[in-house]
Structure 1
Amino acid sequence: MVNIKINGVEHAIEAEADMPLLWAIRDLVGLTGTKFGCGMAQCGACTVYVDGSPTRSCQTFIGDIDGAEVTTIEGLKGKVTETVQSVWAELDVPQCGYCQSGQIMSATDLLASNPKPTDTDIDAAMSGNLCRCATYHRIRAGIHEAAKRLEA
């Protein structure tokens, strides 16, 4: 059994220690906002925060994070998150939307640590998040707009 706090709620997860966190979140806890993309930590669709750091949940085993605090897209809160989500909707950042939970997790983390990111900063922070619809220009514009609103 592994004890993990997910979005502030303690969960005693009965599963093999090598179960990917992604499947524990989706299948055992029932939170489906975190998506399966590639299964190799290459696309970012499965991004969650583990103890505050963006982490690819498809390659993070629950046995390795016993006692950790996990935040999923459903549990993401605060001014930065609300601003990013609002801008995403207003600018129609997503096309199909499949990758967007991971994009929002990474964008929120970037803006929380760097309130005035340059294009280079954005590209570096978002480089592990793939968008099959190629809305990268809208993602970058969304991050810049969110940064402006947060500064105001």
Structure 2
Amino acid sequence: MEAAAQTPSRPGARPQENLVATTRVTLDVNGQSHTLDVDNRTSLLDLLREHLRLTGTKKGCDHGQCGACTVHLDGRRVNACLTLAVMHQGARVVTIEGLGTPERLHPMQAAFVRHDGYQCGYCTPGQICSAVAVLDEIKAGLPSHVTPDLQARPLLSIDELRERMSGNLCRCGAYSNIIDAMAEVAGVPVPGAGDRRPA
């Protein structure tokens, strides 16, 4: 990373007023390398949306409370609004645009469509990115708050899925359909799920 500071541009301004510290950062985003000079205060979310125009990742609360901005960072899910872009030199980022395409959906995207796991759709990119990561976490044996035995591998259960998705909020209330979609991909039976599927 190269750090630089821009000189004051406003006539008569004191030097400290207009200094903007920037850093050159290179990221692998959805399989493509990008090198940008960014203000050190730029969040990963703003880099994705404002600099790379990857607007699938949504800005909801901008405080890490809703999960709409969830992306994969070096294989783990993060709230992109809570981390600075310059902290991730050389990192690999996958956004909703990198999971699948309209012609070839990721299995989780296809399951969300089948189970109507969205309504307005605003939170859906973060929900899907989080859902994919949840299944990876369970497969890797990472425990959650509802894992009964922290020394044992967590069970792939509806309770585990619900707990792990609790950081992703849906104001439309599509939670049961989201869990149905995840359960289908994971191969977990959901009691009464057939009653909730759209006609």
Q: Which residue of 1 aligns with 2:171?
A: 132
> Alignment partner for residue 36 of structure 1, among 59, 75, 78?
59
Q: Which residue of 2 aligns with 1:96?
A: 120
Tell me the distance in 2 between the aligned counterparts of 1:121 and 1:64.
31
Q: What's the offset of the Cα at 1:9? A: 1.0
Q: What's the offset of the Cα at 1:2? A: 1.1
Contact 1:2 1:17 in 2 (8 A): no
Tell me the distance in 2 between the aligned counterparts of 1:83 and 1:114.
17
Structure-2-length-normalised TM-score: 0.69
> Alignment partner for residue 48 of structure 2, among 7, 17, 25?
25
Contact 2:71 2:95 in 1 (8 A): yes
Counterparts in 2 of 1:3-152, with a 5 A limit? 3-77=26-100, 82-114=106-138, 117-148=156-187
Which segment is superposed worse, 34-43 or 113-122?
113-122
Q: Which residue of 1 aligns with 2:3?
A: none
> Per the alignment, in what secondary structure is the counterpart of residue 3 of structure 1?
strand
Which segment is superposed worse, 84-93 or 95-104?
84-93
Which structure has more relative contact order (CA 8 Å, sep 6+)? It is 1
Q: What's the offset of the Cα at 1:99? A: 0.3
Q: Specify the code of the residue in structure 1 equivalent to 2:116.
A: D
Tell me the distance in 1 between the aligned counterparts of 2:44 and 2:120.
24
Bigger share in helix: 1
Larger radius of gyration: 2
How many equivalent residue pairs?
146
Contact 1:13 1:24 in 2 (8 A): no
Q: What's the offset of the Cα at 1:143? A: 1.0
> Per the alignment, in what secondary structure is the counterpart of residue 4 of structure 1?
strand
> Per the alignment, in what secondary structure is the counterpart of residue 12 of structure 1?
strand
Deviations along 1:61-113, one digit per CA (max 9) or x if unpaired, are 01111111111111125xxx722111111111101110010100111112234
Q: Specify the code of the residue in structure 2 equivalent to 1:72.
A: T
Over aligned residue pairs, what C-alpha RMSD do you find?
Answer: 1.6
Q: Specify the code of the residue in structure 2 equivalent to 1:69.
A: R
Q: Specify the code of the residue in structure 1 equivalent to 2:162.
A: D
Tell me the distance in 2 between the aligned counterparts of 1:67 and 1:5.
7
Tell me the distance in 2 between the aligned counterparts of 1:67 and 1:86.
31
Tell me the distance in 1 between the aligned counterparts of 2:88 and 2:124.
25
- Structure 2 gaps of 5+ residues are 1-23, 140-154, 189-199
Q: What's the offset of the Cα at 1:28? A: 0.6
Structure-1-length-normalised TM-score: 0.89
Tell me the distance in 2 between the aligned counterparts of 1:67 and 1:104.
24
